[in-house]
């Protein structure tokens, strides 16, 4: 039997398998920190709407073609300047996490 840990929470094994399959990482939000969740959900919503809106009238004939178009739009989104800041998502990520 496992006990919940506040600082190192366990991730559902099925969810962990899904993340590993897609080559991504699952970082659980902090307990009782609802503000963290809203920021992440907002960022995902912006990316989803911006990319889907740009590609909605395109016709793709393979999954690779769709993935390539999404990757290109994501790169464009990350290089766009914020409305109220003189920086981009790509640059703000570099400065907030330190050197790559």
The span from the CA of 55 to the CA of 48, in Å, is: 11
Determine how many CB atoms are found less than 10 A away from the CB of residue 66: 13
The span from the CA of 74 to the CA of 78, in Å, is: 6
**pLDDT per residue rounded down to tens, the chain (100 residues):** 566 666 677 788 898 898 888 888 887 776 666 666 777 788 788 888 889 999 999 999 999 999 999 999 888 887 777 766 777 766 765 555 544 4
Distances (CA, A) of 51 to 12, 14, 76: 29, 28, 9
């Amino acid at each position: 039997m496992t006990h919940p840990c506040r600082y190192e929470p366990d991730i559902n094994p099925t969810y962990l398998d899904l993340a590993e399959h897609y080559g991504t990482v699952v970082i659980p939000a902090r307990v009782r920190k609802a503000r963290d969740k809203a920021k992440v959900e907002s960022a995902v919503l912006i990316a989803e709407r911006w990319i889907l809106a740009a590609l909605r009238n395109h016709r793709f004939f393979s999954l690779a073609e769709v993935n390539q178009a999404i990757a290109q739009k994501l790169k464009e989104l990350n290089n766009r300047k914020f409305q109220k800041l003189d920086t981009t998502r790509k640059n703000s990520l570099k400065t907030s996490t330190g050197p790559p």
